[in-house]
Structure 1
């Protein structure tokens, strides 16, 4: 074979190889760029345990009424005491404490249970003198001091994403001190009684809570609490006749306004797609 034929055969072979490689490359699919991962947060939910603290102010109301024994005071004297000693004092002051609870969210509706306990401060007293004509020199004094407040309440609310509006009501417990005294004969003979008592009652209220992060929320609420009647008896004074005791009935209620901060365990799960 001549050199010319050998050269032409090499060129033909090279051309064939080039055409084959080009055709094979054209048959391969183009490589697409990889998709970046997308992170999507689950919708916010109020479901879960929470714990927190609160502070606020309370306005108590202690309405006292008396029932003097007519045996020692006479019918007219007892009626005179009862008419002029009834009245109301308003212990009020700072309150603060903590709470713990759990919420369940179903669509936009939230139900839950909360327990809380608070220190309360505030004392109020009232002094009455000169009971008309029959008892002009007698002195009656009553006071009420609030000390402790606790509740156990279900909550039912409506959630608008991170805002929760709710109503609540349930059991309420308070510790209060009631003091009563009566001084006869220009207050020279004084009989007194004081009771430190724990009262069980009921409470209702409304509130609003807002979650400013997945775990932290702030709330504001108002509660009204009623603790019913508590009765104690001022004994006979030293210079009074037999049967001169005076029963005093205290009707005690509370109005409470407070704000709080809660930490909720858990939070929305972040999903990767």
Structure 2
């Protein structure tokens, strides 16, 4: 009996190294930690970008030589650049953003005595932003002040003036969605409503009043985050 027990003990001891080696072969190594993406995107930091979009305005102007009122409504394109800074608190994001852009002809009128085209050489906003982050996607609202340098070309009066300029101040509100494609590259789709104050467009030949008008714009932007 003692010889049998001794033989079993020796056999078990001989098998232990082989069993350990087999168990080691069955272990699956964990993935390298350096290849794992962070679970939460960090929205804090500076960024710059560019945007293009469509814009529509709704307003009227008065040729004071008549006086005659003309509709100043239509749609066109916009494009420009932006820059800003975000700071993230848990899932909430607060920030400041400024942008600048220019437009093509937005409102045109081909009626006799009121043949004109209206565009904006410069349009800029300075806005606050606040939103909620869902990892690498941000839903946000925005609001602030706006400025535009208007260009009125071709309204008929005593003569046909060439590009009369005017200044418009206003306020703007809107919102949108932004998504991080990579850690640095983000894409954005947003909407802004702007209410501009009117201004007088005067030249030696003419005196025209552009009244308060509304501006609706939808923009697609590409942003580089630092």
Q: How does 1:1-273 map to 2 (within 5 A)?
A: 39=33, 41=38, 43-65=40-62, 82=67, 85-126=68-109, 128=111, 139-179=113-153, 180-182=155-157, 190-191=158-159, 195-232=164-201, 248-265=209-226
From the superposition, tell whether residues 61 and 209 of structure 1 become closer, same or farther in structure 2 (CA, over 3 Å).
same
**TM-score with structure 2 setting the length:** 0.73
Shift of 1:171: 1.5
Partner of 1:11: none
Shift of 1:262: 1.0
Shift of 1:67: 5.5
Q: Deviations over 1:185-228 (max 9, x none)?
A: xxxxx356562123222111111001122221110001111221
* Distance in 1 of aligned mates of 2:63 and 2:166: 19
Instruction: Classify the secondary structure of the residue corresponding to 1:181.
Output: coil
From the superposition, tell whether residues 123 and 205 of structure 1 become closer, same or farther in structure 2 (CA, over 3 Å).
closer
Q: Between the two structures, name the one with larger relative contact order (CA 8 Å, sep ≥ 6).
A: 1
* Distance in 2 of aligned mates of 1:250 and 1:92: 17
Larger radius of gyration: 1
Shift of 1:86: 2.3
CA RMSD in angstroms, aligned pairs only = 3.0
From the superposition, tell whether residues 233 and 43 of structure 1 become closer, same or farther in structure 2 (CA, over 3 Å).
closer
**TM-score with structure 1 setting the length:** 0.61
Instruction: Classify the secondary structure of the residue corresponding to 1:86.
Output: strand
From the superposition, tell whether residues 221 and 36 of structure 1 become closer, same or farther in structure 2 (CA, over 3 Å).
closer
Contact 1:166 1:208 in 2 (8 A): yes
Unaligned runs of 5+ in 2: 1-23
* Distance in 2 of aligned mates of 1:233 and 1:44: 52
Contact 1:234 1:248 in 2 (8 A): no
* Distance in 2 of aligned mates of 1:224 and 1:127: 27
